[in-house]
Structures are given as C-alpha cells and as structure tokens.
Amino acid sequence: MKKLQMLFAATILLTSTVFAAGHIKSDASVAIIPYPSKVEMTEGVFKLTPATKIALHFDDEKLPLATNFLNSVAEDVFGSKLAIVKADKPIKKNAINVTLNKSLHEEGYTLEVTPSVINISASTAHGVFYAFQSLRQMLPVEALTAEGVKSVAIAAAKIEDAPHFPYRGIMFDVCRHFFTVDEVKTVIDMAAMHKLNRLHWHLTEDQGWRIEIKKYPLLTEIGSKRADSQVVGTHRAHGEQYEGKPYGPYFYTQDEIRDVVKYAADRFITIIPEIDMPGHMVAALASYPHLGCVGKGYKVRELWGISKEVMCIGKDTTFEFIEGVLEEVVSLFPSEYIHIGGDEAPRDAWKACPACQARMKAEGLNSEAELQSYFTQRIENFLKKHGRRIIGWDEILEGGVSPTTTVMSWRGSKGGIKAAKAGNQVIMSPHTHCYLDYPQGADRTKEPPFGERRPEKPHYLPLEQVYRINPYDQLTEEEQKYIIGVQGNLWTEHVNTFDLAMYMFLPRTSAIAEAGWSHTNKSFKRYITNLNRLVSFYDAYGYNYAKSYWRELGK
C-alpha cells in the first residue's frame, strides 16, 4: 500500500525522528486539536506495532465503525490492520483495551497511554471513535509518511475528554460551484479529524439545483446547469463579468446521496440537508415556472448575489411542490434536523402578487414578513409529521417563529441572541467569525480573489478571529442553554476548485472545532503551537490549507 505523502513540510517537525529500521520515536507532547478537557503527560512510551491488538470489552453494533477507522490508520502506518479480539479481562501487554463506561458523556472518552498498553473507555462507539481520532493525532506524523515502519512510539499520557457543544459543524455550498462525491467525502474525513459531528450540505440555490428529486425531474434536467457564470473574484457592482461558458449539469443522484450519507454516518457525522426556500429558489423556478409569483421568464441564475425572484406563497401548488421535494429529502436523510433556509428572500414579488396578497388577507397576516413566517410554519408542521425539526437562517425570526424552530444566526450574533432569549435553540455561525468564504489573510495580494462590493472595506476573517468566537456572548446562564453549537460556513461563489475549498476550510475549521469542543478550555497560544503540528497531518493527507496564519502571526 502506498504511504501517505508529505506534500509540503510547512511546519517545523517537533521532536520526532525516524529511527533506523523503521522504528519511530514519539512526539514529546500531546498536541490534539480540538484540545481535550484534561491532559496529563506520564512516564515512558507505548510502542505500537503491527502485532498490537485491539481488545474490545463490550459489544455495540457501531464499534466496527470506530475500529475500521483505527485500522485504516494502521494500514497507512504499517500496511496492515491490527487484529481485533473480544476480551473479558484487560489485556496487559501490547493491546488497545476498549471498555465501556456508561458514566461518560455520549461523545466523550478517556485515553490512557502507558508503556505496556493503551486503555480507552467510552459510553458509546462514538466516544471510542473520538478516542481513536485523538490517538491518530498522538502519532508522530512520520508514522503516516515513512516507508517500512515497524514500530511507532506514542508518548504516555492520560486524557479525559468530552465536547462542550453537542452541535459542531461546517456548511458546504455545492451549488455555486459543484464538488464531486469523492470531494465531499474528503471534507467529511477532514471534519471527522476535527471531531465535528454535523455537515450542513447546502444543496439548492439560485445558481443550481444539486439533488435528484424523482417526482420533479426537471429540477436536475434544467435546474442543475446554468448558461454562464459570473467570474470568480469579481463583484457585479463593478460591472458584470462572465466566464463565457456553460456550467453543469452537475447534481447528485439519490444513490450518490445515500452513499455520502452513509459515509458520513460511518464517521459519526450527521448530514443536514438544506433546501433553501422561499428565496434562493431560482433554479427551481427555471425548472417549474408556476412556482414563482410571475410564473414565467426565469433562468438559472448566472450572477452571484440575491435574486428578487422567489417562490409564490399564495399558490397551493407551491406547498404541494415543497412537500413532494421534502418527502424525498426525508427519505434520503435520517437527520432529525432539516434546514429550510429562509434567508435573503426579498418581499417585492409578494407585494405585487395577487395570490400572495390574497393569502395574507385570508390568513390575517399583516406584513410580507408574516407571510414568510406562515410559509415557514406550514413547512415546519409538515416536517413535524415526519418526525423532523427545522433549522432556518435568522431571517425567519422577522415575522415570528414557533418555539420548536432552531435558528442559525449568520447576520452577526444578534439573531441568535434574540432567539435564545425567546427560548429557541440556536446554532451560532455569525459571518463575523464563521464565514469561511472570506479571505483569511490581511494581505489581499496573497489571498485567492474574493469579489468585494467595497474594495476599500474588504471582508477579512483571520484564524484568530474565528478562534475567538464566544457563542455565549451577551447571554445569561439560563439563555446559554439554548445555544447548541457553532458552525463554519463555506459559500463557494469564489471557490471553484476543491483545492481552494480545502484552503478556505483549513486551518479555520480547526478553530471552529476548538470553539465547539473546548469552549471552557481555550488558549490561542496553545492552539497555534498545536496547529503547527496538525498541519503536518493535513500535508500527509493531502489537504490543502492556508498558510496565511503564519503571516498574520508575524512568523
């Protein structure tokens, strides 16, 4: 088996060295990201060899997912898997004992590396998986890249660990630019490395519909391609510039969706699909024009930015359509949460539409904001019948939301704060800290192009700013209970290659991970030290990442 590559040794390797004849010395410290709740270095090293056994002391149908992961690492290191044995008593030598401890957090674990054995305990297979993720990060990275490895020393340590927030996610927009199944799987592997547990998959947009819906085939026949695209890195305020070529058709078949959902679930990641409505629907309107207020003249959008063309909330056929789409969506995605978007839906078309105005009158709605709330609540009630809950962007607060709605705060934290104070669940992803499409270095000549409306006031989101997010800002202890987590968002108007997507995700996703996991135990200084090591793992796995954080720190 081919070893992983050291693509670009951007970091100073700490203390590890390849010894002669394939024996690899340990790293001197535990540099795990997200940083564990408690770490204590102890004496000596454990020598992992191809003969080390994984000893399972309990049964759980999901344990093979964890052991499969560890064995994929063993294959990268040794070219062979470790034996898995069932054991009643702890094995005393050259084993990784995995035991059940029901008192631990459902995603937490303890990990003790001693010179003779490694002991792991967890209350679920999910916790075991995270213990193995930590163990991988404790390997000297040369173990993954050197040829002919016979043993790998791991520094002895005692770790107790559990996440702070239950929801730790990233969002991937595959609509403005499309990414293949394999690329999405790489993002899932990268997310799992950071102990994230949600991938919010933004599947529908003005510029492209990316999920096959059998009941509505035109969504992908027409909606998955556009005649042209705005040039990456330009802003239409300074003149519309087009690529001069069509884009698509690009979409995922339902079989591909199922495959990706399973791939993620096998890594303890739940995929939350987003079907963005009633705005950001132009690709659907181009496919089925009767869904819009005007009912004709739509084409899949070629420019970035917000369209005034939105779904008609006056017509019952709109609800029939959405319900038909969502029936297939819930059959594909087991996630309890379904994201229904709700952002950036201009109200002009509803103001001018007799059907929408009639709906407002019939339902006693006083504003178009309330009309959108009526729409959202009807969709929420429909999804409730399927046992699902909705997440919406913070605009959905404007006309009022039901108490069971989860709000994703993106226009800063204001919406999230308001929602938490009202007793709604909140996921914090304010653009001020979490928009991973913003360039990450101050020096714009060294960053990929990003279309700026006001070049004199450029968007800019450095690593440290991501790290410093406090999802609880301005909330009382009681209100903090409604904050379920954090999420980094990668919009892809200006991200047209997968290498660039990874560059935007990394290393900032590691800061999101630490904000979500290590909230009560953060130190930017320690994090940067550890990140200097983690990037060598990014190198080994071929993950592109921004180097600008070194520039930002004046290195």
Which positions lie near ligand ACM, rule CB under 6 A?
343-344, 393, 410
Q: Which does 355 bind (CB under 5 to 8 A by kind): Zn ion, ligand ACM, none?
A: Zn ion
Nearer to ligand ACM, 343 or 539 (CB): 343
Site string for Zn ion, 189-218 (x = CB under 5 A): ------------------------------
Q: How far apart are CA 105 and CA 517, in angstroms?
A: 13
Does residue 392 belong to the site contacting Zn ion (CB under 5 A)? Answer: no
The structure tokens listed for 122 are 């967890």
Nearer to Zn ion, 353 or 391 (CB): 353
- Nearest to ligand ACM by Cβ — which residue? 343
Q: How far apart are CA 359 and CA 344, in angstroms?
A: 21
Nearer to ligand ACM, 393 or 482 (CB): 393
CB of 434 to ligand ACM, least distance (A): 10
Q: Which of 314, 392, 471, 485 binds Zn ion (CB under 5 A)?
A: 314
Q: How does DSSP assign 92-138, residue by residue?
A: -SSEEEEEE-TTS-TT-EEEEE-SSEEEEEESSHHHHHHHHHHHHHH
Nearer to Zn ion, 347 or 418 (CB): 347
Does residue 292 belong to the site contacting Zn ion (CB under 5 A)? Answer: no
Nearer to ligand ACM, 429 or 440 (CB): 429
Nearer to ligand ACM, 164 or 202 (CB): 202
Q: Which does 356 bind (CB under 5 to 8 A by kind): Zn ion, ligand ACM, none?
A: Zn ion
Q: How far apart are CA 386 and CA 536, in angstroms?
A: 44
The structure tokens listed for 300 are 């899949």
Q: Which does 31 bind (CB under 5 to 8 A by kind): Zn ion, ligand ACM, none?
A: none
Strand extents, DSSP E, 399-482: 406-409, 425-428
Closest CA to 438 of 342, 515, 542, 546: 546
Q: How far apart are CA 154 and CA 45, in angstroms?
A: 5
Q: Which does 344 bind (CB under 5 to 8 A by kind): ligand ACM, Zn ion, none?
A: ligand ACM
Tokens 């069932």, residue located = 86
Nearer to ligand ACM, 257 or 434 (CB): 434
- The DSSP code for 230 is B
Does residue 181 belong to the site contacting Zn ion (CB under 5 A)? Answer: no
Q: Which residues pair with 391 in a beta bridge?
A: 339, 406
Based on its alpha-carbon atoms, the radius of gyration of the chain, rounded to whole angstroms, reads 24
Q: How far apart are CA 429 and CA 416, in angstroms?
A: 9
Q: Which does 181 bind (CB under 5 to 8 A by kind): Zn ion, ligand ACM, none?
A: none
CB of 310 to Zn ion, least distance (A): 8
CA angle 292, 296, 297 (to 5 degrees): 115
CB of 171 to ligand ACM, least distance (A): 9
Q: How far apart are CA 384 and CA 386, in angstroms?
A: 5
Q: Segment 319-358, which members bind Zn ion (CB under 5 A)?
A: 353, 355-356
Which residues lie near Zn ion (CB under 5 A)? 293, 312, 314, 353, 355-356
